[in-house]
Structure 1
């Protein structure tokens, strides 16, 4: 069977896991919303107990356990695909050099555990911080506790019978976008600002434009519906960002770890490995990433981008977040497999 190219392997794994991680994240959020008992949240808000209201939403790390599992699957598949595509190598004594990927390798296990923990903790804490701000602000303004709670947890759709809208699952920044959109739609003097929001549901533009022309506020239920769809679109964007960035991270790290496992086992020489930056064409590329296409460094060296940023490889742990979000760059490894064979041959003479 012919060896596949690194790009083929990358594209196959990306197509498989990007959508999977996105969907798992969105399913986790939907499950959180569906298990919330609204009455308990409202009762605690009526008592001014913001922390108690948040606790009643059960926003804890276990709610995202499936996302952790899906990430581990992507990481494992990347490592297996890397070593599975190595050429057949024969040692001087005629025996075959066996390359294996070890998910139970202590280094791999530790990184996977720590990265997953950071990812889930960041998702949960960011949500809780944002929700705490929204609830506290609602109480300070004297808003109805039930409406405030519904703005957070979402409203039950008559079509799907599941909660939609709300701000659970969004980043703190996105949660505040939703709050501002609600303010804009509730004030004719600010409605024009809402129509400039890129993620709005444009099906409501005529309704908003008419209210803007008439200088009249929109009914509360209409505002809820419009804001709910805007929130859903931001959540979809959040899911897409997590699906892409975490898949890219898993594939990049597993490739690096797979090679390093072979180096540690003496089957590949570190000096015989070169990392090569690969840029994937996109609609809105980072031009300094495109300039990196084809650049190469040693396995233990860093790439230096035209803007001065240094990183081990695209989506590595030392890469700044603004260099990874919605980035599809990846790296390949050029390996002289026979350098280690020659070393063993010379050692055996």
Structure 2
């Protein structure tokens, strides 16, 4: 006999299906940008102190992120289909059992997907340009030659895989600054600075022995070793970036599509909003939000918001317009229930 999945188990099943797809799509976009880089063009522009031209030569256009937009569309539609499949039998306005379908062409669904995808990609690209400009300016101001400066941004080609590794492409502005700071900690060979590097949680610990040996001997690390360490550190941050985007976007797509799926049935007269309740469900995790833990089990009507302890009104987890303190890394979801006794009455 097949086990009946709980709402949490069904939601976790959807997450496990779509989150890896979004993560892979983001990395596919970054690999596409990296693989089309012509280093010579960037170096030529840097030789003329043309930083804007060097950034244009990277071809950081939004078209590169079409795989991410497509993965988001699939997750959004997958969530909508799952939402209607999990609904109990609904009735049409004449009282007959209704055929319930997810309408991906519904105005609200299309509008959310179009606007959210465009905003997501635009923000990624623009943030990239800011991060890359800062990295190029720092490299040149430090006195590095154009080739070295460019390689620190775009990464070096791994002779085994043929792919670029390291660099700051794909990182947020903050993450690119972490990379720059880590390089400053390791380059001069100052003991206090090198010890600061060893506190970085995303570092590749396989290089710790080399750093500790340099500290013991009172000598700076060789330049090649520094570049290998920083390259691995940057790759670790890129993985974190991919994980963060995949988690956030999957939860937002699934929570939003569920909300819209119920709204579609209300608009079609198959159920009344006042007969639907939604309950906040917090997912246990290593570093939970105290506010969301406190909200666990909070129940409201469909057309009413949840209220966080800080007073924030939240239509549903990951609803548009919420401050990042309520969305970034959040794994909560809303459980919807229809009061059929009230519907019949």
> Which TM class, normalised by the smaller chain length?
over 0.9
Matches of residues 276-291 of structure 1 in structure 2 within 5 Å? 276-291=279-294
**CA distance in structure 2 between the aligned counterparts of 1:311 and 1:318, rounded to whole angstroms:** 9
TM (norm. structure 2) is 0.95
Take 1:268 and 1:2, find their aligned partners in 2: how far apart are those partners?
A: 28
Match of residue 14 from structure 1: 15
Length, aligned pairs only: 342
Deviation at residue 139 of structure 1 after TM alignment: 2.1
Residues 15-36 of structure 1, C-alpha deviation per residue, up to 9 Å, x if partnerless?
A: 0111111111012111111110
Equivalent residues of 2:154, 2:169 under 8 A apart: yes
Which string of whole-angstrom CA distances, capped at 9 and with x for unpartnered residues, describes residues 132-183 of structure 1? 1111222223221111100110001122111000000000000000011011
Instruction: Give per-residue Cα distances to partners, 1:1-46, cap 9 Å, x unaligned.
Output: 9864322221111001111111110121111111100010111111
8 A Cα contact 1:89 1:338, kept in partner: no
Measure, in 2, the Cα distance between the counterparts of 1:26 and 1:238. Answer: 10
Match of 1:273 in 2: 276
Measure, in 2, the Cα distance between the counterparts of 1:116 and 1:9.
Answer: 25
Do the aligned partners of 1:269 and 1:339 also contact (CA within 8 Å) in 2? no
Q: Is the 8 A contact 2:28 2:67 kept in 1?
A: no
TM-score for both structures, normalised by structure 1: 0.94
Q: Which residue of 1 aligns with 2:150?
A: 149
Asked whether the equivalents of residues 268 and 339 of structure 1 are also in contact (C-alpha less than 8 Å), the reply is no
SS in 1 for 2:295: coil
The match for 2:336 among 327, 333, 344 is: 333
Measured against aligned partners, the alpha-carbon deviations of 1:234-270 in whole angstroms (never above 9, x if no partner) come to 0000000001000000000000000001111111101
In 2, the alpha carbon distance for the partners of 1:114 and 1:106 equals 12
Aligned residues of 2:136 and 2:149 also touching (Cα < 8 A): yes
Query: For structure 1, which segment, 181-190 or 94-103, has the greater mean C-alpha deviation from structure 2 after superposition?
Result: 94-103
- 2:315 corresponds in structure 1 to 312
Q: Which structure 2 residues correspond to residues 1-349 of structure 1 after superposition, within 5 A?
A: 4-90=5-91, 95-189=96-190, 190-337=193-340, 339-342=342-345
Indicate if the aligned counterparts of 1:199 and 1:230 stay in contact, CA closer than 8 A.
yes
Greater CA drift, 125-134 or 137-146: 137-146
Distance in 1 (alpha carbons) for counterparts of 2:102 and 2:332: 23
